[in-house]
Amino acid sequence: MSKNTYTIRNYQHNDFDNYVRFRMEAEKSEPSGKLLSPQHLAEELAVPKYYPERDLFVAEIAGGIIGFISVFLELEIGRALVEGLVHQQHRKERVATRLCRYALQHAKNSGVKVAQINVPETNTAAKSLMSDLDFRFSRYFLELKLDIYNTHLPDINPHEFNMRTLQHGEEDKLTGLQNRCFTGSWGFNPNTTEDIVYRLNLSGCSPEDVTMAYKRDRPVGYCWTRKIHIAGPDPQENKGLIHMMGVVPEYRSKGIGKKVLLAGLKYLRCNNICRVELTVDKKNPAARGLYESVGFKESMILEWYEKKLI
C-alpha cells in the first residue's frame, strides 16, 4: 500500500471520539495493561504543559485514525518524552517511521536537547525502529509485580517517625518533598504544585492515596499509590500502582522507606486491591532491594532509548 494512502497531521479537538476508538480497539487487540476509557484518555490529554493540538500527531486513512505519536516537552530539563502506537494492520507502511520523524522535528523546533522513548525488551520491531532513527540505548527499567492478596505484610512500628495521609491543601508539601527526594535522579523533571494537584484529582485518585512520613513536623518520606478498579465480577482483576515513593537523602537507610511502602500496600489491600505494580531503575539497587524484600517480582524489562537533537 502506498504511503500516500494515509496522511499525518496535528491532532484536533474534534478528533477525540476517533482517537478514543482507535486507542480502545488497539488495547483489545494487543493488551498493554493500561487503563483506557474516554475519561482516562481525556485526562491524559489535559496534563499541565501538554497541548494536544501542538504536541500530538495522528495518522489517518479516510477519516479513521490508524496511529498516533505524542511529544511531552519538558523544557525545564531540555527533554522530550515520546510515545506512540500504530495499528497492527498498518505497520509495514512506514507509518511509525513517519510519525517519529514528525515528533522529532517538533521536539527539535521546541528547543529541547534530547528525545527519549521506552519500549519493552521483547518488542523487536520497536527496537529496530529505534536503530533506524539513530536512537541509542540509555538504560533499563524493571516492571515489578506483587500479589498482596496472598502476601504477609508485617506490622509497622514507626518509632520516632509519624505517618499519616496527605491532607487537602498540603499539595505544596508533597511537591517540595518529591523534588527533594528525586533531584539528581535520571530523567526526573521537578514538579510544580500545579502538576501535583492535577494528578491527585485524576479519576479514582485523592490525597488519601499518599502516605507521608514525618520527623516531628518535617516530611521526610512518602509512598504515593493509585487504585485501578476493573469493572467485572472478579475483584482480583483490580490492581494498584506505586506511583512514586521516596525518602529525602539525609534520612535514608533508617527504615523509613520500608515503613511507608508497607503502609501504602496495606492501604491498597484495604481498598480491595489484590495486585500491585511499579517500575524501578535497574541501576537503583537500594530501591530494587527494598521492593524485593516485601515480595515484588520482576515481570518485564523496559529499555529506554534517546536521541540527541542539537
Q: What is the pLDDT of residues 179-222, one digit of tens each?
A: 999 999 999 999 999 999 999 999 889 999 999 999 989 999 99
Q: What is the CATH number of domain 144-303?
A: 3.40.630.30
Bridge partner list, 118: 304
For the segment 29-47, the average pLDDT, to the nearest whole number, is 86
Report residue 174 as a C-alpha cell.
508533597
Backbone φ and ψ of 181, nearest 5°: -70, -35
C-alpha–C-alpha distance, residues 38 and 147, integer Å: 29
Provide the greatest CA pair distance for the chain: 68
Q: Which residues contact 238 (CB under 8 A, 6 or more apart)?
A: 227, 228, 229, 230, 272, 273, 274, 275
Joined grid coordinates for residue 279: 517500575
Mean pLDDT of 159-178: 93
Angstrom distance (rounded) from CA 250 to CA 254 = 9
Per-residue model confidence as pLDDT tens digits over 240-259 = 999 999 999 999 999 999 99
pLDDT tens profile 61-87: 999 999 999 999 999 999 999 999 999
Amino acid identity of residue 31, one-letter, is P
Architecture in CATH of 3-112: 3-Layer(aba) Sandwich (3.40)
* CATH fold match for the domains 3-112 and 144-303: yes
**C-beta separation of 46 from 56 below 8 A:** no
**Region for residue 4 given its phi and psi (left: phi exceeds 0; alpha: psi -120 to 50; beta: otherwise):** alpha
Residue 29 has pLDDT above 90, yes or no: no
Distance CA 189, CA 196 (A): 13
Q: What is the DSSP letter of 173?
A: H
What are the residue boundaries of the structural domains of the chain, listed by start? 3-112, 144-303
Which of 114, 111, 21 lies closest to 68 in space, CA to CA?
21
Contacts (Cβ under 8 Å, ≥6 apart) of 234: none
CB 146 within 8 A of CB 296: yes
